[in-house]
């Protein structure tokens, strides 16, 4: 477990710091760039995905911290889950905690990727991409395990 814990902490720390440096640049310097397909444009999200629950803006950071704490307790109790999913868990926590820190630091999540070619998409950040990557990895592992179990039953 020690090796996996160290690796997951290293992944967490690298992604968390990288994401916060990028967000600091957008929040404090004029890093906006207009492109034909995608632009880099500072925006603050006071809700969650697609600004849902923005009416909870001031309380959302505490609700999310509570959910992270519940997740940590669950992983402490179920160490086997951590052992199996330690990489996506590190990615989830890095992206999630980085976005939560934004709420405390800037009052909302710092977003900057803006897709506008063909259709307009929500503005998002690297942490959002990392969270989605983590979920995709978890789904992939689940599908792989289900297929293996199905194959072993036959």
Q: Catalytic residue, from 19, 30, 102, 128: name it.
A: 128
Tell me the pLDDT of the chain (154 aa) as tens digits: 799 999 999 999 999 999 999 999 999 999 999 999 999 999 999 988 767 777 787 889 999 999 999 999 999 999 999 999 999 999 999 999 999 999 999 999 999 999 998 888 889 999 999 999 999 999 999 999 999 999 898 7
According to the model, what pLDDT value does residue 94 have? 98
30 given a catalytic annotation: no
111 given a catalytic annotation: yes
Two structure tokens written together for 61:
């950071």
Instruction: Report the distance separating Cα 82 and Cα 87, nearest Å.
Output: 9
Q: Catalytic residue, from 19, 30, 102, 111: name it.
A: 111
Structural domain of 61: 2-153
Q: CA gyration radius for the chain?
A: 18
Two structure tokens written together for 104:
């405390």
Domain count, the chain: 1
Q: How far is CA 94 from CA 59, 101, 121, 153, in A?
A: 21, 10, 23, 37
């Amino acid at each position: 477990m020690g090796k996996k814990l160290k690796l997951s902490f290293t992944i967490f720390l690298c992604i968390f710091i990288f994401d916060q440096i990028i967000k600091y640049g957008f929040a404090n310097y004029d890093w906006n760039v207009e492109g034909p397909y995608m632009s880099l444009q500072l925006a603050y999200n006071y809700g969650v995905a697609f600004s849902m629950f923005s009416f909870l803006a001031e309380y959302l950071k505490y609700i999310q911290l509570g959910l992270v704490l519940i997740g940590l307790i669950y992983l402490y109790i179920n160490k086997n889950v951590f052992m199996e999913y330690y990489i996506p868990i590190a990615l989830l926590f890095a992206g999630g905690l980085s976005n939560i820190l934004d709420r405390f630091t800037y009052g909302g999540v710092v977003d900057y990727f803006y897709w506008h070619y063909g259709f307009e998409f929500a503005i998002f950040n690297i942490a959002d991409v990392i969270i989605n990557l983590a979920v995709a990895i978890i789904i992939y592992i689940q599908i792989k395990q289900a297929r293996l179990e199905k194959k072993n039953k036959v």
